[in-house]
Amino acid sequence: MMTIVDICRPSTPFPNQPMDLCFRISPCLADPARRSSSCLKLLLLVVHLIYAGVLFLFDGDLIEKTKKEPWYTALYLLLFVVTLVQYFATSVSNPGYVLDAMMEINKKNVVHTKTPETSNQPALGKNGSFVISMEGNQTGKCVAGSNATYWSKLVAELYPPASTIRTWTCTYCNVEQPPRAKHCHDCDKCVLQFDHHCVWLGNCIGQRNHCQFWWYLCEETAVCIWTGFMYISHLKAHITSVWWQDAIMILLLITLSICLIFLLLLLIFHRTIFRQNFNEWKNASIFQETWTIPKSNLKSII
């Protein structure tokens, strides 16, 4: 029986209506992880614009210098724009997923060994991942066992002979992981040469985009150093002009200095592990200490 309260109660709570409309316009925002990543990207963009905007708004000498030497400001703005472009390009780059590499290698092997008896049917595995199986070849035998694939054979050659397939099979994706690969719980995918999941980028750093990530760190560090230099130059010349402007710039300069310290440490750290062909995931050191990966086999996978 319907009461007066039921009639007066709205079918959909009013506060949820704007959010529902936003989710219909941008379905990606319905995912909390992607929504958080989008907010961080927007925050980083706004911070960059604030630092550049305050500099050009308060520093009148910079405007005069731009009129006399436009190349100086043009180089700074070029580096500023390139850094932002590199940031967004890295955030959407492919870190190198194990599933994609597995499907590509199995597909190439099917092309080389294709016969009327060859079958390449993708089967749906655990958590929606695809497990590609091949049955038969020119001699009527399997490549590496009854249910094995060419990918399984390549991965097995990268591990010590005493290890079993259970030791390198991902329990989430149900795929065989090469050494240094790891499942990312944020992206819900296995990544080749997994380094870390960057919350500021909203993306994993792996085999394919580690170099691109390092170059972004270089550009971001250069922008911070150049911006800090111009802030210090302005404060030296106009430290007693307008106190509230100086207070804002000093506060921004302190924040920039802290960020610059972390950027320099991160840049040096990734430069070191990049030269040593290592990553942040320390569990990979087990295989580096006990087993030497054949370079020919490793190149065939990555």
Question: Mind telling me the catalytic residues?
Answer: 198
Q: What does the angle CA 48 – CA 49 – CA 52 come to, to the nearest 5 degrees?
A: 90
Rounded CA gap, 170 and 98, in Å?
Answer: 10
134 three-class SS: strand
| CA 7 vs CA 14, 15, 83, 269: distances in Å | 15, 19, 56, 63
Rounded CA gap, 171 and 176, in Å?
Answer: 10
144 three-class SS: coil
Is residue 283 classed exposed, middle or buried when 0-12, 13-18 and 19+ CB atoms within 10 A define those classes?
A: exposed
For residue 184 the two structure tokens come to: 């990312």
Give the DSSP H or E segment for 130.
strand 130-134
